[in-house]
Homo-oligomer: A and B are copies of this chain.
Amino acid sequence: MLKPLGDRVVLEVKEEEEQTVGGIVLASNAKEKSQTGKVVAVGDGLVLDNGEKLPMSVKTGDTVIYDKYSGTEVTFENNKYLVVHEKDLIAVID
């Protein structure tokens, strides 16, 4: 099992094709892009200055929207995951 540390969240992500011309990523405008993923594991939460842990704002099974270019790719048991910090999660889809 993959147990994320701190305020990290492990996401299962639907891969999207990125449009490129000659290898250059085409950005349609200046805004940040987002993407959707499913939470498969959550960490224990951010440690505050006083040493207490802040409860996580998402839970396993949640469908979340996150900043497209955030996170670290992790391959585990032949599956690819994205591990992002809680602050890079934008919204939960209910």
Given the contacts A1-B93, A51-B54, A76-B93, A69 and B30 also touching, CB distance less than 8 Å:
yes
Chain B residues with CB under 8 A of A73: 31-34
A59 interface residue (CB < 8 Å to B): no
Interface, chain A (partner B; CB < 8 A):
1-6, 8, 10, 18, 25, 29-34, 41, 44, 47-52, 54, 57-58, 65, 67, 69, 71-76, 82-83, 86-87, 89-94
Which residue of chain B is the closest to A48 with respect to CB atoms? B51
Copies in the complex: 7
Report whether A50 and B47 are in contact in the complex, using a CB–CB cutoff of 8 Å.
no
A90 to B5, CA, bound (A): 6
Report whether A71 and B32 are in contact in the complex, using a CB–CB cutoff of 8 Å.
Answer: yes
Is the Cβ of A72 less than 8 Å from the Cβ of B2?
Answer: no
In Å, the complex CA distance between A8 and B67 comes to 13
How near does chain B come to A76, taking the closest CB pair, in angstroms? 7
Known: A5-B57, A49-B48. A90 touches B65 (CB 8 A): no
